[in-house]
């Protein structure tokens, strides 16, 4: 890591760096105020942003006002949501009402959506506070995020959800949402040392991705049309620092077929997973998988089997997909 990165990205001070579930529990218990939590993350964002350049827009005043309003409602007896008081970030291709959403493109500079994407609306309804929009390559096409750095030095944070992964890894956001077409959640997560999950196509409502499906932006230059491949396969999904946080966000966004018991602590009930089959594939036929990756996968498979889950090999099920994807 470069000296500048080390100086800029010192370990965050509590409650910054806590997982989303812990922040929510602290707010509900009265240990922390919503405004206190949001301000701490905005301060961390100000601290790391000169190095990262990961935020496309920062909602400081709006986020603090929303935090104050939520505190008032909680004091009045409102039931806390699953992400009550949690600061979140949103990728620049997901519509956020009243906040610039430019899709990483000069063509949409100054675009301010009038309504939230469905996913953003559900985060807000669960008590989350959006503190920033995050940078991505133009129209979310690319494996790097131009101009954005990793928290771990002068490296790429990956793409296309690179800004999202960088801010979460740096502790400036508790959890967030990005999009994934061919790895745009998973690749930046591994580049920055955090976690992400691509839901299956159709598992979540993707309405509100921009340039939009049937929306007023579709006619502008460079916008993929409503019947493009991107519209069919690009999905919205979570990025976070713990598996439990990912599960909470997925449930909040309305993911189908999640275990009814919700996120579990290690060693707890599997929430119905023991009745399901989990397939695994050691690789596919066009790209060699490194020995370290194979070893990590084998370890995960063994751990799942030891936990009593039904894990079965599915050899050949991915053969040809890499070639087809790049065709």
Summarised one tens digit per residue, pLDDT across range 222-248 is 455 555 566 678 899 999 999 999 999
- Which whole number is the average pLDDT over 283-299? 87
Does the structure show a pLDDT above 90 at 263? no
Catalytic sites, residue numbers: 91, 160, 184
Residue 197: name the closest of 154, 249, 259 by CA: 249
| 180 three-class SS | strand
The pLDDT value given to residue 259: 46
The pLDDT value given to residue 212: 61
Residue 179: name the closest of 169, 187, 170, 167 by CA: 187
Does the structure show a pLDDT above 80 at 326? no
- Judge contact between 206 and 188, C-beta under 8 A: no
Q: Residue 294 and residue 259: Cα distance in Å, rounded?
A: 28
C-alpha torsion angle, residues 16, 17, 19, 22 (rounded to 10): -50
Band of pLDDT at residue 82, cut at 50, 70 and 90: very high
Q: Looking up tokens 């196509």, which residue turns up?
A: 201
C-alpha torsion angle, residues 89, 202, 245, 240 (rounded to 10): -50
Q: What are phi and psi of 47, to 5 degrees?
A: -70, -40
| 172 three-class SS | coil
- Which whole number is the average pLDDT over 75-84? 97
Q: Residue 69 and residue 16: Cα distance in Å, rounded?
A: 21
The pLDDT value given to residue 230: 66
**Which of 151-160, 165-174, 305-314 ranks highest by mean pLDDT?**
165-174
- Which whole number is the average pLDDT over 14-28? 96
The pLDDT value given to residue 327: 63
- Which whole number is the average pLDDT over 184-206? 94
Name the CA radius of gyration of the chain, rounded.
20
The pLDDT value given to residue 96: 95
Does the structure show a pLDDT above 70 at 7? no
The pLDDT value given to residue 9: 66
Pairing of strands 310-313, 235-240: unpaired
Q: What is the mean pLDDT of the chain?
A: 87
Task: Dig out the tokens for 260 from the structure.
Answer: 């009814």
């Amino acid at each position: 890591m470069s000296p500048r990165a080390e100086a800029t990205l010192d370990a965050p001070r509590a409650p910054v760096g806590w997982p989303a579930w812990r922040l929510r529990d602290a707010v509900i218990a009265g240990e922390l105020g919503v405004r206190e939590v949001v301000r701490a993350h905005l301060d961390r964002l100000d601290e790391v942003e000169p190095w990262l350049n990961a935020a496309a827009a920062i909602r400081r005043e709006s986020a603090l006002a929303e935090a104050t309003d939520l505190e008032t409602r909680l004091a009045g007896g409102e039931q806390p949501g699953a992400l009550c008081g949690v600061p979140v970030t949103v990728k620049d291709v997901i519509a956020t009402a009243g906040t610039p959403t430019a899709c990483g493109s000069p063509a949409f500079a100054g675009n301010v959506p009038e309504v939230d994407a469905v996913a953003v609306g559900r985060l807000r309804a669960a008590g989350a506070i959006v503190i920033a929009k995050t940078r991505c390559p133009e129209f979310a096409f690319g494996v790097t995020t131009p101009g954005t750095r990793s928290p771990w030095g002068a490296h790429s944070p990956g793409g296309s959800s690179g800004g999202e992964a960088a801010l979460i890894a740096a502790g400036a956001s508790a959890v967030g949402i990005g999009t994934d077409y061919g790895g745009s959640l998973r690749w930046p997560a591994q580049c920055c040392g955090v976690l992400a999950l691509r839901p299956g196509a159709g598992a979540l409502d993707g309405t509100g991705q921009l340039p939009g499906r049937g929306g007023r932006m579709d006619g502008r230059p460079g916008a993929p049309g409503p019947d493009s491949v991107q519209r069919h396969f690009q999905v919205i999904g979570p990025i976070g620092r713990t598996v439990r946080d990912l599960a909470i966000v997925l449930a909040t966004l309305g993911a189908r077929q999640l275990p009814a018991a919700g996120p579990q602590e290690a060693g707890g009930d599997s929430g119905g997973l023991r009745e399901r089959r989990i397939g695994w594939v050691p690789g596919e036929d066009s790209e060699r998988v490194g020995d370290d990756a194979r070893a990590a996968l084998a370890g995960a498979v063994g751990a799942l089997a030891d936990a009593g889950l039904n894990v079965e090999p599915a050899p050949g099920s991915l053969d040809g997909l890499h070639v087809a994807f790049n065709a």
